[in-house]
Chains A and B, each alone.
Chain A
């Protein structure tokens, strides 16, 4: 199943079973509680447990970013699917989400009980302002990638204007614009290569 195995194949550990996948992904989730999930995932899956080569792992990251779904969750699905198909993917997903999701549910239960207390609301007003700054930074973080591609910037600006000023909803917008963008970026087309 792995594509072209590099020379380091003899250093790989035997393929993990379902229980190993569950425990391994749980370890990734727990290790990354301070952040840096992707780096932890690489350290544990590639360096410590030696389930896959680094090249294979990076391929997984590419697939995870390309397809819909949260990147870290998609990465767990890729790892699980590589070794156990659909059951492997579901087990890896459960391993990755069990503890963080349970904690978040606890937080949610507490939040809905106490959020109307004025002191709590005041603290949250501050936290929310900081979180909004994080949301604002998301676009800027990937902007550099497209600096040299005027068509991409025009496309992004058009999407932004449609959503902000004309309140176009996401699903129809993506369904209309995605095919146009794919046609523009179709490889080996007559159009000039822009990237």
Chain B
């Protein structure tokens, strides 16, 4: 069921076979996976993307690498916080059980990734006056910044090498990266133009 062409289908089958679980077992796997990651979504949540790839593609075999890249692009292109990619990943986990299981899995996964960080954020919002001047807060804020920086570079590289196969694709990525840093053009335009180039067969996987 998964895979784009015969090659990737064979590759996916050779490298990764999902554990045989019942419908509910898969749902529990989805919920536990995202619950346990929630409190590690530092720096806005994008820091988790490499971990998401490792878990959903390499370890749990919910998706192929190509599907992961597609879902990342969809979440970036769609309105709203791009961290909602979790819903799409969870949908992929249960897709072969049908669209309804896919939707149930998507909602459960999204709730699971949001619940722990939401509870912590509520506690932080209500006690901020006491936290504000605490040395723990200062050390936490300063210490986690550089860690987030390192993770974001690793995540960027991971997405880059997962998404691209060929010099032209890399060129597009580098140009978009430069434009993101130098201009305030909406990234939707970059994705639209690159989508047209892909449709014309200029960029291949």
Residues of A within 8 A of B (CB): 3, 29, 32-35, 37, 59-60, 63-74, 77-78, 81-82, 85-86, 89-90, 93, 97, 99-101, 103-105, 107-109, 111-112, 115-116, 119, 121-143, 145-146, 149, 151-153, 155-160, 163-164, 169-171, 174, 177-178, 181-188, 195
- Expressed in whole angstroms, the minimum distance between the Cβ of B159 and any Cβ of chain A is 4
Contact status A77-B135, CB under 8 Å: no
User: 1/0 per residue B75-97: CB within 8 Å of A?
Assistant: 11111110110011001100100
Q: A81 and B125 in contact (CB under 8 A), knowing A33-B79, A170-B47, A174-B147? A: yes
Considering only CB atoms, which chain A residue lies closest to B138 in the complex? A187
Q: Which residues of chain B from 151 to 190 have a CB within 8 Å of any chain A CB?
A: 151-160, 162-164, 168-170, 172-177, 179-181, 186-188, 190
User: 1/0 per residue B107-142: CB within 8 Å of A?
Assistant: 000100010111111101110110000011111111
Distance in angstroms between the alpha carbons of A182 and B136 in the assembled complex: 8
- Expressed in whole angstroms, the minimum distance between the Cβ of B18 and any Cβ of chain A is 15
Contact status B156-A137, CB under 8 Å: yes
- A138's partner among B80, B91, B152 (CB-CB below 8 A) is B152
Question: In the complex, what residues of B have CB within 8 A of residue A181's CB?
Answer: 142-144, 146-147
Question: In the complex, what residues of A have CB within 8 A of residue B84's CB?
Answer: 97, 100-101, 104
Contact status A123-B114, CB under 8 Å: no
Residues of B within 8 A of A (CB): 3-4, 36-51, 54, 67, 69-81, 83-84, 87-88, 91-92, 95, 99, 102-103, 106, 110, 114, 116-122, 124-126, 128-129, 135-160, 162-164, 168-170, 172-177, 179-181, 186-188, 190-191, 193-199, 201-205
Q: A132 and B159 in contact (CB under 8 A), knowing A127-B194, A171-B40? A: yes
Contact status A115-B70, CB under 8 Å: yes
Contact status B198-A63, CB under 8 Å: no
Q: A130 and B176 in contact (CB under 8 A), knowing A112-B102, A185-B143? A: yes
- Expressed in whole angstroms, the minimum distance between the Cβ of B98 and any Cβ of chain A is 10
Please list 29 pairs of residues, one from A and one from B, whose beta carbons are closer than 8 Å in the complex, sorted by A's number. A34-B186, A60-B125, A69-B41, A70-B44, A74-B117, A74-B121, A77-B122, A90-B118, A101-B80, A105-B106, A115-B4, A115-B67, A116-B3, A124-B198, A127-B70, A127-B73, A129-B169, A129-B176, A132-B69, A146-B149, A151-B146, A159-B146, A170-B40, A170-B48, A170-B50, A174-B147, A185-B139, A186-B138, A187-B139
Considering only CB atoms, which chain B residue lies closest to A66 in the complex? B141
Q: A182 and B121 in contact (CB under 8 A), knowing A32-B79, A104-B84, A135-B49? A: no
Question: In the complex, what residues of A have CB within 8 A of residue B144's CB?
Answer: 66, 178, 181
Known A-B contacts: A65-B44, A130-B194, A132-B173. Give 20 more (CB < 8 A). Answer: A66-B137, A73-B81, A81-B125, A82-B125, A101-B87, A112-B102, A121-B205, A124-B70, A125-B203, A128-B163, A131-B159, A132-B162, A133-B176, A137-B180, A142-B152, A159-B150, A159-B151, A170-B151, A185-B138, A186-B135
Q: A89 and B121 in contact (CB under 8 A), knowing A63-B128, A134-B180, A141-B181? A: yes
